[in-house]
Each structure stands twice: as C-alpha cells, then as structure tokens.
Structure 1
C-alpha cells in the first residue's frame, strides 16, 4: 500500500508538502499540487481514515442506536439521519438494541471504542434509564429522539405529541363526534402519555364524557391495534370515532373491524398518528397526524454537529410541530353544529 513517502519520492517533493496537498491544510502552488495528485493517482494512494482521525481528533462518524420495530416510522427517521450524514460528509454506524438495556450499553461501548464523534439514541422503550457510561465520556455529545425525561446530559429532538393528540381528538369533535374512544401506546412512555393527554384535553374542553370501555392501552404495533379493538368491541357498544395513537395500530384496528363486518368510516371513524408512507394507501386512506419524520432525523444530525462545533453550549430541546392530514377515514356526522 502506497504511503505519503512514496508519493513524495515520485513527485520530487517533501513528505510534509504531500501532507498539505492531501489534507488541504496549507496553500501549495497549483503546479506542485498537480504533481502530487498525479503521483497519488499513479500509486493508487488511499488516505488512511484512521491516521487522519487520530491527527484531527475526529472520525467523521456518528453512531445511532434504535430499537427494531415493524413500524416504518423508524425507517423514515433513519432515512433523514443517513441523508443528512451523507450531505455533511459523515459516516453512520447503526446499531439495534432490540429494547434490551444490556445490549444498548454494549452497543454504546462498541461505538465509543470506534471513536464516533457523537451519538443519536432512538430507544424510547428504555426511557428513564440512567446510562452511566456517558458520565465517563463527557466530550462525546448525545442527541436523543422520541424520549421522555432524561437522566443524563444531552440534546433532545421531539415532536409536540401533546398538541398532536389534541389536534386528532379536536378534529373528530369538529366532525360532529361526541362518543370518542382512544387506543393509546404504552403509557409508561412519554410520547404515548402526551398523545393521550392531548386527547383528554380536547374532550375536556368540549365538555365530553370519558367512557372507560372506550380507552384501551396497547403497544404501538399492528397486533396491538388488532387486539385492542377486539377488546373494545367485546365490552359493548362502540364509539362513533376512535383516536388510535399511531398508524400501525390503526391498521390493526381496521383489519379487526373488517373481520367483524364493520366498515370505516360508515360504522365508526378513525384517525391515526405519524402519517407513515402507507397511510394514504390504506382502504380507506387514513386521516392522521403528520410527524415530520425526515426532518426529525435531519434535525438530530444538525443538532449533534452544532454541539461538536460549540462544545460549551447548554443542552437544548428541538421541538417539531405536527399537522393534521385529512383523508377518508373520518365521517362528518349530520349533527355537526355550524357556527
């Protein structure tokens, strides 16, 4: 494998001059730069990423930890992270924690050994855990996504789930619904709790009653939505509308309803959350709350790189706002009062 010394010998210059040309660390005349680059090309020289990282104390590599899920929401966020890394000239190492604390700690150790410049955590099933290893590496910035209160220092990227839940329920109310159920995510997770709180705020504001048989806690997966609807159905009369706290569970709900001969929105209306890519291709197309998933990933990388440039700044929270997407899964009842 060719070295800078080999290039210097072939180009007839000093090794330090070759280093300045390769690393663009000092001005070198166009003629000499051309000789050096031509020699490097002839020798098939490839710069050592390891040597460069040791010299610059940067590897131009970020690490990301996430929990595997069938929910394409996560893939759409990762797409934003990967694209932004590429545009900024960074590599990305992606690790799967599978929701296991020990595996997460092992992955963090591995990333630190590989000297990543920073980390992005998207493992909300582990929120509330204290990760002591970060205390030993205060110079490695961390950004968390989709996470509740943190027990370590980091920046945070989140969507406004409280507002999103409120918008979903309020849309159903504005369409004339007064009997509104809710299938929540795991309420020990911050985002699920906030969406549920938004739902409750909208119902309280409208003076509507809460029916305990119409509030079911589930797990954010298709199977969870399917089972939650079956439980709600088994308890008696259904509400006229259901806020399902993510689109994957909404798919499960619609499948369970179809098995029972029920039709959306003729027999009951449904609104989801996330606006995953396939939501508009469901039958009927799903009304939902749009999360800017690509932007969430992009914001995580940008915030991490900003911290690398200004290590002394205080941790910050970047909050992105949801929007309502109206499709065909919500019926407008004739009892709607026009102002």
Structure 2
C-alpha cells in the first residue's frame, strides 16, 4: 500500500508538502498540488481513515442501539438516521439488543471501545436503568430516542405521545363513538403509559364512562393485539370503537375480528398509532396517529452532531408533534 513517502518521492517534494496537499492544511501552489495529486493517483493512494481519526480525535462514526422487533417502526426510524449520517459524512454502526439487557450493555461497551464519536439509543429496555459503562466514558455524547426518564445525562428526542393518545380518542368521540375501548402497550413503559393518559383525558373531558373490560394491556406486537382483542371479545359486549396504541397491535386486532366475522369499520371502528408504511395498505386502510419517524431519526443525528461539535451545552429535549391520518377503519356515526 502506497504511503505519503512514496508519493513524495515520485512527485519530487517533501512528505510534509504531500500531507498539506492531501489534508488541505496549508496553501500549496497549483503546480505542486497537481504533481502530488497525479503521483497519488498513479500509486492508487488511499488515505488512512484510522490515522486521520487518531490525529483529529474523531472517527466520523456514530453508534446506534435499537431493540429488535417485528415492528417496522424501528426500521423507518433507522432509515432517517442512516440517511442523515450519510448526508453529514458520518458512518453508522447499528447494534440490535434483541431485548437483552446484558447484550445491550456489552454492545455499548464495544461501540465505545471502537471510539465512536457519539451514541444514539433507541431501546426501551434501558428505561430507568443506570448504565455503569457511561461512568468510564463520561464525555461521550448520547442522544436517547423516544422513551422515558433516564438515570444518565443525555439529550432526548421524543414523540408527544400524550397528545397523540388524546388526538386518537378525541377523533373517535368526534365521530360519534361513546363506547370506546383501548388496547395499550406495556404500561411499565413510559411511552405506553402517557399514550394511555392522553386517551383517558379525552374520555374524561367528554364525560364518558370507562368499561374495565374494554381496557386491555398488551405488548406492542401483532400477536399481543390479536390476543388482547380475543380477551375483550370473551368478556361480553364489544365497544363500538377501539384505540389500539400502535399499528402492529391494530393489525392483530383486525385479524382476530375478521376471524369472528366482525366487520371493520361497519361493526367495529379501529384507530392505531405510528402510521407505519404498511398501514395504508391494510384492509381496510388504517386510520392512525402519524408519528414522524424519519424526522425522529433526522433530529437525533442533528442533535448528536451539535453535541459532538460542542454547539450545545445544556441537555436538549426535542419534541415532535403527532398528527391524525384519516383512512377507512373508523365509521362516522354522526354528521
């Protein structure tokens, strides 16, 4: 592999001159710069990313941890992260935790040993935990995406899930529904809890009664939605509408309802949450709350780079607002 010394010898200049041309660190005449560049091209010279990273104390690399899930929500967020990294000239190392806390902590340790410039964390298994590895790397910039209180210093990018839950319930109420159920995510998780709190606020403001049999806690997965609906169905009378707290569970609900001959939305209205890409291709297409997934990833990268470049000093919380997407899964009972 060619070195700067080889280029200097071929171009008839000093090694320091070659360094200035390649790194653009000092003015060099056009004639000499051309000789150096031609020599580098002839020798198929490729700058050492490792050597440069040691010199400037930057690797131009970001590490990201994400919980493995069948939910395409995570993939759509990662797409926003990857595209933003590419546009900013950064590489991305992606690690899946598969919901395993020990694997998650080991992955964080590995990424920090590889001297990534910063970390993006999107794994709710961290919620409320102390992570000892950060004690050994107190200066590493960290941005947490879309989950609750942390026991370590970081910036945070989040969806306004409270407002999203409120929007979902309010839309069902505005459509004339009074008997409304809710299938939540795991309520020990912050986002699931506050999404449900937003739902309850809208119900309370409308003076509607909560039926205990119509509120089922689940797990944010298709199978969880399927099982939750069957539990609700077995309890007796169904509500006229259900707020299902993510689109994956909504898919499971629709499947279970279809098996029982319950028509969506004629017999039962469904509203989801997230607006994953496939939501509009479901039958019927799913009315849902849009969470700005691509923007979530983009905002996380932008905030992390500001922290890396010391453009911000105080902890940042960037909140992205959800919006309603009307499709075909909710029946309007009043005009």
Where on the TM-score scale, by shorter chain, does this alignment land: which range? over 0.9
Whether the 8 Å CA contact 2:306–2:312 is kept in 1: the answer is no
Question: For each residue in 1:272-292, what CA deviation from the matched residue of structure 2 results, as whole angstroms up to 9, or x when unmatched?
Answer: 000000000000000000011
Does the CA-based 8 Å contact 2:286-2:329 persist in structure 1?
yes
Partner secondary structure for residue 272 of structure 1: strand
SS in 2 for 1:300: helix
> Could you report, residue by residue, the CA deviation over 1:3-28 in whole angstroms, capped at 9, with x for unpaired residues?
01101111111111111111122222
Mapped contact 1:226–1:252 kept (Cα < 8 A):
yes
In the other structure, the counterpart of 1:248 is 248
Tell me which residue corresponds to 1:164: 164
How far apart, CA to CA, are the structure 2 residues paired with 1:273 and 1:10? 63
Structure 1 Cα separation of the partners of residues 159 and 145 of structure 2 = 9
Partner of 1:292: 292
**Aligned twin of 2:61:** 61
Q: Is 1:232 aligned with 2:232?
A: yes
Aligned position for 1:314: 314
Q: Provide the C-alpha distance between the structure 2 equivalents of 1:17 and 1:271, rounded to a whole number of angstroms.
A: 65
Q: Distance in 2 between matches of 1:105 and 1:311?
A: 28
Q: Name the CA distance, whole Å, in 1 between partners of 2:24 and 2:291.
A: 41
User: What per-residue deviation string (whole Å, max 9, x for no partner) do you get for residues 185-204 of structure 1?
Assistant: 01011110011000000000
The SS at the match of 1:120 is: strand
Q: Distance in 2 between matches of 1:307 and 1:19?
A: 29
Measured in 2, the distance between the counterparts of 1:30 and 1:86 equals 31
Question: How big is the shift at 1:126?
Answer: 2.6
CA drift at 1:125: 2.7
The range that moved more, 161-170 or 100-109, is 100-109
Structure 2 equivalent of residue 21 of structure 1:
21
Please give the alpha-carbon distance, in whole angstroms, between the structure 2 residues aligned to 1:323 and 1:106. Answer: 37
CA distance in 2, matches of 1:69, 1:4: 47
1: CA distance, partners of 2:312 / 2:243 = 43
RMSD: 0.9
Task: Determine whether 1:326 maps to 2:312.
Answer: no
Report the Cα distance in structure 2 between the residues aligned to 1:129 and 1:147, rounded to whole angstroms: 12
Structure 2: distance between partners of 1:115 and 1:125: 24
Poorly superposed stretches of 4+, deviation over 2 Å: none
TM-score, with normalisation over the residues of structure 1? 0.97
Q: What is the alpha-carbon distance in structure 1 between the residues aligned to residue 84 and residue 253 of structure 2?
A: 35
Measured in 2, the distance between the counterparts of 1:25 and 1:207 equals 69
Question: Which residue is equivalent to 1:175?
Answer: 175
CA shift, 1:312, in A, is 6.2
Question: Counterpart of 1:208?
Answer: 208
| Residue pairs, 1:192-203, within 5 angstroms | 192-203=192-203
Moved more, 10-19 or 318-327: 10-19
Distance across 2 between alignment mates of 1:29 and 1:180: 75
CA contact (8 A) 1:99 1:126 kept: no
Q: Matches of 1:20 and 1:322 in 2, distance apart? A: 50
Equivalent position of 1:111 in the other structure: 111
> Tell me, which stretches of 5 or more residues in structure 1 are unaligned?
none
Q: Matched residues in 1 for 2:26 and 2:192: separation?
A: 53
Structure 1 residues 312 and 271 mapped into 2: Cα distance closer, same or farther (>3 Å)? closer
Cα distance, 1:296 vs structure 2: 0.3
| Structure 2: tracts of 5 or more residues without a match | none
Taking the aligned partners of 1:81 and 1:322, their CA distance within structure 2 comes to 19
**Corresponding residue SS for 1:183:** strand
Q: CA deviation at 1:135?
A: 2.1
Shift of residue 311 of structure 1? 6.6
CA contact (8 A) 2:101 2:125 kept: no
CA deviations over 1:249-299 (Å, ceiling 9, x no partner): 000000000000111001110000000000000000000000110000000
SS at 1:39 equivalent:
helix
8 Å Cα contact 2:184/2:216 also seen in 1: yes
